[in-house]
């Protein structure tokens, strides 16, 4: 019996993806559509937001001879391509930590660089700088900014301290949530959101999640208003704070 000799992903990949249900929400008066793939879309300005791509994370440890499969960049870009095709944004804002480290862009394999360029073509692209990638990615087009304002929303990598003056969308913290239902635990990346602020889930294929009950999120949200919008297969699940379980 050598069934294990011929794994095939073809069948699975050939299946047409079910159209995911978007979740519409308001943030400081602006309409925001959340996509269960982990990106946000601002319909008024046709802007797509993605955060913490952490491209080239797999190869980041190679100097220490730790050889993780180097396909995370490809995977992340392919997933990004799917969301770009779905929303056809005029503007893409990558909310920082787009590359796992300062040399990440230089390590891009030729095919991946070409793929990324094709995704960027024909639209405006803004790299917000993050703590992992404070400088503009080497050899790539696109604008660079430390933060950006669109309508009533400030877009930045790290959430500002305390209550934001205007609406804010940030990344950096890789929010995830955990619920326990009928003796079983489900943990998923999530959008953390109250009426004023939203923190985006990390999009990269090798990025993990930090439970939003962790100290790092302390003081960022109104506990009464906060929802964790957990990423599901084809929809989002909004869960109130009192149902969440810490790690």
Residue 113, sorted as left (phi over 0), alpha (psi -120 to 50) or beta, turns out to be: alpha
Closer residue to another protein in complex, CB, 9/85: 9
Closer residue to another protein in complex, CB, 139/181: 181
Nearest distance from C-beta of residue 241 to another protein, angstroms: 11
Closer residue to another protein in complex, CB, 48/190: 190
Nearest distance from C-beta of residue 54 to another protein, angstroms: 10
Q: Strand 167-170 to strand 175-181: parallel, antiparallel, or no bridges (unpaired)?
A: unpaired
Cα distance from N-terminal residue to C-terminal residue, the chain: 41
Site residues, another protein (CB under 8 A):
1, 3-9, 11-12, 57-59, 62-63, 65-72, 74-75, 107, 109, 174, 179-188, 205-210, 230, 232-233, 237-240, 243, 245-247
Phi, psi of 62 (to 5 degrees): -65, -30
CB neighbourhood size of 172 (10 A): 22
Are 31 and 43 a contacting pair, CB within 8 Å? yes
Nearest distance from C-beta of residue 184 to another protein, angstroms: 6
Closer residue to another protein in complex, CB, 19/233: 233
Nearest distance from C-beta of residue 44 to another protein, angstroms: 27
What is the spatial distance between Cα 68 and Cα 70, in angstroms, rounded to a whole number?
Answer: 6
């Amino acid at each position: 019996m050598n069934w294990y000799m011929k794994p095939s992903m073809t069948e699975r990949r050939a299946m047409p993806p079910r159209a995911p249900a978007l979740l519409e929400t308001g943030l400081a008066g602006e309409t925001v559509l959340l996509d269960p793939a982990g990106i946000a879309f601002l319909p008024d300005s046709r802007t797509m937001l993605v955060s913490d791509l952490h491209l080239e994370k797999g190869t980041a440890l190679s100097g220490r001879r730790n050889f993780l499969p180097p396909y995370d960049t490809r995977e992340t870009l392919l997933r990004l391509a799917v969301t770009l095709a779905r929303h056809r944004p005029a503007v893409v804002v990558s909310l920082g930590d787009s590359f796992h480290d300062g040399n990440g862009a230089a390590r891009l394999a030729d095919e991946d660089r070409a793929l990324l360029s094709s995704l960027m073509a024909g639209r405006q692209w803004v790299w917000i700088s993050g703590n992992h990638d404070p400088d503009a990615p080497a050899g790539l087009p696109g604008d660079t900014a430390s933060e950006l304002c669109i309508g009533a929303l400030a877009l930045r990598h790290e959430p500002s301290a305390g209550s934001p003056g205007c609406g804010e969308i940030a990344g950096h913290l890789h929010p995830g949530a955990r619920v326990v239902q009928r003796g079983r635990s489900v943990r998923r990346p999530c959008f953390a959101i109250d009426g004023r602020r939203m923190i985006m889930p990390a999009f990269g294929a090798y990025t993990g999640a930090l439970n939003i009950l962790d100290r790092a999120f302390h003081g960022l949200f109104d506990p009464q208003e906060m929802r964790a919008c957990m990423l599901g297969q084809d929809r989002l699940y909004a869960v109130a704070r009192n149902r969440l379980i810490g790690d």
